[in-house]
Amino acid sequence: MLCSLGIAQGLFLCAYLLTLQKGNKMAHRILVLVILGLVLRIGKSILNVYLDLEPWQRNIGIAGILLVGPSLWLYGGLLFHRFKEIQGVQYAHFLPYVLFMLLSPLIPNRADLLSYVIYYAVFGHLFVYLILAASLLRKYGYIAQPKLHQWYRNLVIGVGLIWLFYIGNITGLIPFYIGGALFFTLLVYMFSFLLLRNHTFSLEKYQGSKIDADSAKSAMESLGMLLEQNEVFLNPKLAMSEVAETLQISPRVLSQVINQQKGMNFSEFVNYHRIEKAKKLLSSPKSSDEKMASIAYDSGFGNVTSFNLAFKSFTQQTPSEFKKKHKNSG
C-alpha cells in the first residue's frame, strides 16, 4: 500500500510539473522523465512481489533506469544554465532506453548469467550519469542559487541511494527486495514537499510581474556589459536600485531577470563577479605579496570577512587555499 501511494504521488508530481506554466518548462519536462523512470522501475518491484511477470514486462521496468540517468544529468545542465535547451545530439542520450524498450521481448531475463550481466550493465549506465551529475554540481553548482544547488544535490543523492539499494540487493548485501520501493516512496514525498514549496515561493515572488523573453535577454546583456566591462561591482555599496536606474528598468524587473536567467538574487550575482575578479587577482604573479585585505577591496568587497564568506560559498575553499593551490600548480 505504501509503495503504491509512492507511485501515485510520483505520477501526481509529473502532472504538476507538466502543467506548471512558470519557470523553465524544458527543465520541468526533463525532471518528469527522471520521475517516470523511477516509477517504471519501482512499479516493476511492486508488481514482481505479487504477480508472475513475463520477462518482457520485467524488462520494461528495468528500462526505466536507462531513462533516469540521462534525464538527471540533462536536468542539472538546464538548472545550472550549462545549456538552454535539449536539442540535437543530446537526445542521443535516450537511445539506450528506447532500444531497450523496443527489444524488451528479446532481451533475456531468466536469472541466468547473461541476464545478470545485462542487469549490471543497466545500473552501470546509471552510475556513469550519477558521476556526470556530481561533476556538474562540482563545476557549476557554486554559481547557482543556494536553494537550487541544494535541491539538485538532494535529488542526485536520492537517486544515488536508490542505486545503492538495488545494487546491494542483487549482490546479496540487502535481502529486503521491496525496500527499494519503500525508500522511493519516502523520497518522492520528500521531493514533492520541497518542490511544491520552492515553486510556490517562486510564483508568489513574481506574481503579476511579466517580462517577455526578448526583453529579459536584452536586460541581461546590458547588465552583463555593465558588470563585466564597466566593473560597477567594484563599488562595495552598489545597490540594485542604482543598477536598475542605469538600465532604465524597475528594481523588481531587474530582480526577476537575474532570478530567471541565472537562478540567483542580485547580491549573489554581483558577488559572483566580485569572486571572479578576486580569483584573477589571487592567481596573478603581480599580487603574490598582496594582503588579503587589498584583494578584498580591489574586488569590490567592503571588508575581509564578507570577502572570505562569499569566496568560500562560491568556491568551497578560502582565498588563502585558492592562492596556495594556484601557486603550487603554477
pTM over 0.85: no
- Number of C-beta neighbours around residue 272 at 10 A: 20
Give the separation between CA 80 and CA 75, rounded to whole angstroms.
9
pLDDT in tens, 239-298: 999 998 888 888 888 888 887 777 788 888 899 999 999 999 988 887 777 889 999 999
Q: Residue 258: enclosing H or E segment and its boundaries?
A: helix 251-262
Better-scored residue on pLDDT, 212 or 264: 264
Task: Find how far residue 283's CA is from the centre of its chain.
Answer: 29
Where does the pLDDT of residue 4 fall: very low under 50, low under 70, confident under 90, or very high at 90 and above? confident
On the question of pLDDT at 85 being above 80, the answer is: no
Name residue, grid cell 575578479. 277
Q: Which three cell numbers stand for residue 312?
A: 568560500
On the question of pLDDT at 328 being above 80, the answer is: no
Poorest-confidence range of 77-86, 199-208, 210-219, 319-328? 199-208
Decide: residue 166, CB within 10 A, 0-12 exposed, 13-18 middle, 19+ buried.
buried
303, 296 Cβ separation under 8 angstroms: yes
Give the separation between CA 269 and CA 78, rounded to whole angstroms.
18
Q: Alpha carbon of 293 to those of 14, 208, 306: distances in Å?
A: 50, 43, 11
| Residue 177 one-letter amino acid | Y
On the question of pLDDT at 76 being above 80, the answer is: yes
Percent of the chain with pLDDT over 70: 87
Poorest-confidence range of 35-44, 166-175, 187-196, 284-293? 187-196
On the question of pLDDT at 138 being above 90, the answer is: no
Contacts of 34 (CB under 8 A, 6+ apart): 67, 68, 71, 72, 75, 155, 159
Mean pLDDT, the chain, rounded, equals 83
Better-scored residue on pLDDT, 201 or 173: 173
Among 165-174, 186-195, 218-227, which range has the highest average pLDDT?
218-227
Q: Alpha carbon of 249 to those of 3, 74, 119, 221, 223: distances in Å?
A: 50, 33, 56, 13, 11
Contacts of 116 (CB under 8 A, 6+ apart): 170
- Number of C-beta neighbours around residue 302 at 10 A: 12
- Number of C-beta neighbours around residue 225 at 10 A: 11
- pLDDT at position 196, please? 64
On the question of pLDDT at 34 being above 90, the answer is: yes
On the question of pLDDT at 142 being above 70, the answer is: no
Where does the pLDDT of residue 150 fall: very low under 50, low under 70, confident under 90, or very high at 90 and above? confident
Task: Round to the nearest angstrom and report the end-to-end CA distance of the chain.
Answer: 60
Closest CA to 104 of 112, 96, 94, 116: 96
On the question of pLDDT at 177 being above 80, the answer is: no
The average pLDDT across 9-18 equals: 86
Name residue, grid cell 535529488. 155
Where does the pLDDT of residue 70 fall: very low under 50, low under 70, confident under 90, or very high at 90 and above? very high
Q: Phi/psi at 31 (nearest 5 deg)?
A: -65, -35
Where does the pLDDT of residue 103 fall: very low under 50, low under 70, confident under 90, or very high at 90 and above? very high
The average pLDDT across 163-173 equals: 82
Give the separation between CA 100 and CA 56, rounded to whole angstroms.
10
Q: Residue 133: enclosing H or E segment and its boundaries?
A: helix 113-140
> In order of start, what are the domains of the chain with their CATH numbers?
2-205 (1.20.1070.10), 213-329 (1.10.10.60)
